[in-house]
């Protein structure tokens, strides 16, 4: 697939980035090479190949999902600029 400098300029405008005339010519060649590589990948027969979620076969270690308060409210509230009991005090944002 061919990408000319006009397409690069359009992509740059959509991405809201400035691309110089010299850089647009270089980018058009690079984007063309990338798209050619993707076309080559599309030619590979992947029938019967299951998708991978990871390249290694290690399973994640599972832990019990228990909600806790961290059991250290004093340490947590020590960093708060202001607190009320065991709660953070925040400015009112809704009028």
3-state secondary structure of 24: helix
**What is the Cα–Cα distance from 73 to 3, expressed in whole angstroms?**
59
pLDDT at site 63: 86
Instruction: Read off the pLDDT of residues 7-37 as tens digits, 9 standing for 90 and up.
Output: 999 999 999 999 999 999 999 999 999 999 9
Domains and CATH numbers, the chain: 5-42 (1.10.20)
Instruction: Read off the pLDDT of residues 72-89 as tens digits, 9 standing for 90 and up.
Output: 888 888 888 999 988 899
> pTM for the whole thing?
0.50
Q: How confident is the model at residue 54 (pLDDT cuts 50, 70, 90)?
A: confident
């Amino acid at each position: 697939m061919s990408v000319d400098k006009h397409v690069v300029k359009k992509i740059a405008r959509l991405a809201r980035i400035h691309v110089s005339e010299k850089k647009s010519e270089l980018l058009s060649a690079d984007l063309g090479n990338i798209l050619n590589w993707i076309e080559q990948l599309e030619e590979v027969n992947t029938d019967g190949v299951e998708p991978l979620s990871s390249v290694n076969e290690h399973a994640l270690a599972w832990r019990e999902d228990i909600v806790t308060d961290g059991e250290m409210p004093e340490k947590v509230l020590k960093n708060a600029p202001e607190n009320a009991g065991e709660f953070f005090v925040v400015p009112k944002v809704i009028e």
